[in-house]
Amino acid sequence: MLAEQVKPFIIPGKKYAFAIDLTDDPYYGEKNGDYVVGGKRKASTNRFFSYATCYLIDGNRKFTIGVIPKKRKC
C-alpha cells in the first residue's frame, strides 16, 4: 500500500538509495499477542513492538515504502 503511493515520484532509469531502519518501541502492557517481543532492557521494560521500515531516498526526500512487524518466536 505504501509503495503504491510513491510510484508517481519514481522516474524510470534514475538511481535511488534505500534505507532500512530497525525499531524497538517500548511496550508496558501484558505480554499478549504475536507482535510483543522480548529484548535487552530499555526505557524500564524488556518488551517491545519491533518492526523494520524500508525507505526510498531521493535527495532530501524520504518515502516510507514498507513496514514489516517482527513476530515473537513460537
pLDDT for position 73: 67
Q: Answer for the pair 67, 53: CB distance below 8 angstroms, yes or no.
A: yes
**Of 58 and 32, more confident:** 58
pLDDT, one tens digit per residue, over 7-51 is: 888 889 999 999 999 998 898 887 777 788 887 887 788 888 889
Domain ranges of the chain: 2-69
pLDDT for position 6: 83
Reported pTM: 0.71
pLDDT for position 24: 87
